[in-house]
Amino acid sequence: MPLIASTPVSRMAGPYPKRWAALFVLCLSLLIVVMANTSLIVAAPDLTRDLGLDASQLQWVIDAYTVPYAALMLMLGAVGDKYSRRGGLVTGLLIFGAGSVMGSLVHQADAVIAARAVMGIGAALIMPATLSLLVATFPRSERAKAITAWSATSGLAIALGPLLAGRLLENHAWGSTFLINVPVAAVAIVLAMALVPPSRAEGRGRIDVIGGLLSVVTVGALVYAVIEGARFGWSGGPLAGAVAAAVGLAAFVPWELRHPRPILDVRKFRIRSFSGSMIAVLMFFFGTFGALYYSTQHLQFVLGYSPLDTGIRLLPLAGAVFVGAAVTGRLTPRLGVKPMVVAGMAVGTAGVLLLMRIDPGSGYTDFVAPFALLGFAIGLSVSPCTDTIMEAFPEHDLGVGGATNDTALELGGALGIAILGSVLNTTYRDRLTDAVAGKLPGTALDTAKDSIGGALGVAEHIAHNPQGGPTQAQALVSAAHQSFADAVAHTSLIGGIAMAVGTVVVALVMPSAGRSSSEQEQPGRVGATDTDTDTETDTGETQGTAHGVRSA
């Protein structure tokens, strides 16, 4: 038996025999990419204490991963299509592992931020490669099941990241949450070479480099502007980023419309099922990552759970993802995509709105239902959305298709953490200022207002200060807990309203079952030639007209 899988699927007489083992490798690679964000959420308190991070630095430790990840995916997905999708996966795992090693060894905030950025570059190669290789490897009759497993892995990683990180933090420093990625990446590289067949688009032609660079500028500047603007206001750097994103988009769209082989055929957004699925993915991860960001802080800082205890208490979310995935696997073929997606978005909205009940007296049981509803919503709706998005792309653009889906996912998560995190911080500062103004020295008040972790640190200092004492310290702790609980409830209202609006938009945009096929037909590309349809070798399937996007 050969040690390296070297035969493309297109040259095989039937379906690839080891395709389900290959799917395991792709899901394993996806797992560490998503876990890199969620594991850091429970490691944030240790990072803050050890490195003396302020709220801005902590935000960038998280988001330095997101900016290159979101910005580079489209360009790197096209590179993988042209040269080697498996090569892109392996290269991404190597870069991701190198960034993880760097992150585990450094002890300065700027160095940790740089390590996270390196990991983000690796993730930008890995994510689109996993989805494009999945579609290239599986016959169409099995793709929906494979994509359901892929989507469920994303949901599992959301809960598994905090659990594994919490277990490591019981006995090790925060650097261990970076280092755990290294052996997983190494195993994934070896298994990818042995089990994942090579894949690339034959005869794809030259890459639309200008379109790719414009996409990098547009998405990167947008993510930067949202992150910084949500926290510091729309002036200076955030304003420049917003202007750069607008200019980049204004240049990108006409360029892509005129290019004979665009990096992304923007006409796809005329397809209602495609556009609706993109909005749904973005809004799902907006709500989920935002709610997870502040819920885990409440579990740790207000309820006093350790990182491990916090990870364990996120397991209802992971379990619900698999329940939702099982339900969607049975019902989507019968009911269609739209009912499942809209139902899932409604359930997710309810999960976020339930967090409005949080107050200082709330216990863990008040979080169980919201976590379960969010997990069920992901399992129910994300895989039909992903399947619909991928069907809009021909075989030679599978990497770009995966990148498009993943950009919506990552952009949604970044927006959720940035916007809802900003609402949370602003509400917390206002409430705490009202509660303790005039009772703390200026410097201590500034530290306490910066974050709830800062407030608890000030309280600990007051408790051991002869001029303070335990009574004053407890008063500050109670005020901080009250202010943070109020902030969680208020932020959940804002997040729930945003998701409710998104649900209505998706319901209006996505076509119902039974629409005419002409409404769903993918618009033809300018300059398309016959070589677009008969030179692909990814799956051996002839690409005649564009993939018919599902009518529901």
CA pair distance 338, 20, nearest whole angstrom: 28
Q: Which two tokens stand for residue 97?
A: 């592992």
CA pair distance 107, 340, nearest whole angstrom: 46
User: Is a pLDDT exceeding 90 seen at residue 342?
Assistant: yes
pLDDT, position 39: 81
pLDDT, position 229: 80
- Using one digit for the tens of pLDDT, what is the confidence trace for 189-240? 999 999 999 988 876 678 889 999 999 999 889 888 887 886 677 778 889 9
CA pair distance 502, 250, nearest whole angstrom: 24
**DSSP assigned state of 261:** S
CA pair distance 198, 289, nearest whole angstrom: 33
Q: How far is CA 223 from the centre of its chain?
A: 13
pLDDT, position 203: 67
Q: State how far the alpha carbon of 380 is from the alpha carbons of 190, 275, 344, 512, in Å.
A: 32, 18, 6, 18
What's the mean pLDDT in 428-450?
A: 83
**CB contact at 8 A, 145 and 94:** no
State the CB neighbour count (10 A cutoff) for residue 186: 13
- Using one digit for the tens of pLDDT, what is the confidence trace for 296-328? 889 988 998 887 888 888 889 888 988 998 999
CA pair distance 296, 314, nearest whole angstrom: 9
Compare 41 and 254 and report the one with higher pLDDT.
254
CA pair distance 273, 384, nearest whole angstrom: 11
Compare 491 and 5 and report the one with higher pLDDT.
491
**CB contact at 8 A, 294 and 421:** yes
Q: At what angle do helices 337-354 and 470-509 cross, to 10 degrees?
A: 160
Comparing C-alpha atoms, which of 123, 116, 125, 121 is closest to residue 76?
125
Residue type, 9: V
CA pair distance 181, 37, nearest whole angstrom: 12
**DSSP assigned state of 17:** T
Comparing C-alpha atoms, which of 306, 309, 294, 302 is closest to residue 360?
302
Please tell me the total number of residues recorded for the chain in this structure: 552
pLDDT, position 2: 67
Average pLDDT along the chain: 85
**DSSP assigned state of 550:** P
User: Is a pLDDT exceeding 90 seen at residue 519?
Assistant: no
Comparing C-alpha atoms, which of 6, 31, 401 is closest to residue 188?
31
Q: State how far the alpha carbon of 340 is from the alpha carbons of 335, 385, 533, 550, in Å.
A: 8, 9, 32, 13
- Using one digit for the tens of pLDDT, what is the confidence trace for 267-306? 999 999 999 999 999 998 899 889 988 998 899 889 988 8
Q: Which two tokens stand for residue 487?
A: 């902030």
Q: How confident is the model at residue 513 (pLDDT cuts 50, 70, 90)?
A: low
**CB contact at 8 A, 144 and 24:** no
**CB contact at 8 A, 341 and 506:** yes
Alpha helices in 83-236 (DSSP H): 85-105, 109-137, 140-171, 176-179, 181-195, 209-232
SS (H, E, C) 444-474: HHHHHHHCHHHHHHHHHHHHCCCCCCHHHHH
User: Is a pLDDT exceeding 80 seen at residue 475?
Assistant: yes
pTM: 0.83
Owner of token pair 């910066």? 450
3-state helix, strand, coil in the chain (%, to 5): 80, 0, 20
**CB contact at 8 A, 267 and 525:** yes
